[in-house]
Amino acid sequence: MREITPKKIVEMKGREKITMVTAYDYPSALIADKAGMDIIFIGDSLGMVVYGEENTLNVSMDQMVYHTRAVAKGVKRALVLADMPFMSYEVSIEEGMKNAARLIQAGADAVKIEGGYDHYKLVKKLVRSGIPVMGHTGLTPQRYLRLGGYRLMGEREEEIEEILMDAKALEKAGAFAMVLEFMLSDVAKLVTEEVKIPTIGIGSGPHCDGQVLVWHDLLGIYENVPPFVKKYADLRSMIGLALEEYKNDVKDGRFPEPRHYWEFLDKDDFEKKRKRVLERISEDH
């Protein structure tokens, strides 16, 4: 069992801020775990940042299982959380149970489900079956078509009520935490105060119990990032410069240098071997 468990995440509420970051492959997971992240999250955002999709709706269960397995192999300390992709749990509770089990069997410690009140029964049954669940309310990207795009949530009173109902339903169903995405910070503060389980914000201000960002966004791998992202590095430029230098070194004959390859120390010995090999080949042909 990994050091960070759902129980420990719950205990961190009000005591210590929770850190969460996405990862989609083994080397990223190794780095994130060594950096001391509390939760490493295989999000369906991989559809956009890894596969180049315009949204998350085309991500399949097979993709999520594949990436979860890769990430899980690289994590020893953090809690490994895997996203339930679009239409992997909406059709029926039974299908949701089966798909959640696939992610756990691939190495996840918990699953995340978008929505709250609508999936109360599923969350409750998953938790009773031994599968920890993190909820997700506010901007739910899998429902962006219904929401009218990727927009700030919580400005209207009915939205505040829906968000709070979702949060309370998730808590009652047994979720150990929830993501609050892209909502007004006042609303996120209200939710955080009204529930006993941790809230993890993304674009929802400083009052949440923790924060999550996408790997590619915070590391500056892409030029365009959501407005709530802080870039902690500019890897796009660094990687580009490294590749350009490599290209120029190859073109101009500067790479490889002698320290990058090996050759016969005894040239006479090599010459004898070379002649014998060439003679045998010429005889065969």
- pLDDT tens, residue by residue, 151-173: 899 999 999 999 999 999 999 99
Return the pLDDT at 86.
95
Contact yes or no for 93/125 (Cβ under 8 A): yes
Which of the following is catalytic: 181, 257, 279, 283? 181
Active site residue 95: no
Return the pLDDT at 148.
67
C-alpha 20/C-alpha 36 separation (Å) is 10
Return the pLDDT at 151.
87
pLDDT band at 141 (very low <50, low <70, confident <90, very high): confident
**Position 150 pLDDT exceeds 80:** no
C-alpha 205/C-alpha 145 separation (Å) is 24
Pick from 153, 141, 188, 194: which is nearest to 171 by CA? Answer: 194
Tell me: the pLDDT tens digits for 64-100?
Answer: 999 999 999 999 999 999 999 999 999 999 999 999 9
**Position 212 pLDDT exceeds 70:** yes
DSSP 8-state assignment for residue 139: S
C-alpha 78/C-alpha 41 separation (Å) is 10
93-105 and 120-128 are packed helices; what angle lies between their axes, rounded to 10 degrees? Answer: 50
DSSP 8-state assignment for residue 19: E
Average pLDDT, rounded, for the chain: 96
C-alpha 179/C-alpha 201 separation (Å) is 6
Domains of the chain plus CATH, in order, are 6-218 (3.20.20.60), 252-284 (no CATH)
Mean pLDDT over residues 253-275, rounded? 97
pLDDT band at 283 (very low <50, low <70, confident <90, very high): confident
DSSP, residue by residue, 249-265: HHHTT-SS-GGG----S
| Sign of the C-alpha dihedral computed for residues 163, 166, 170 and 172 taken in this order | positive
**Position 147 pLDDT exceeds 70:** no
Angle at 85 between CA 68 and CA 6, to 5 degrees: 55
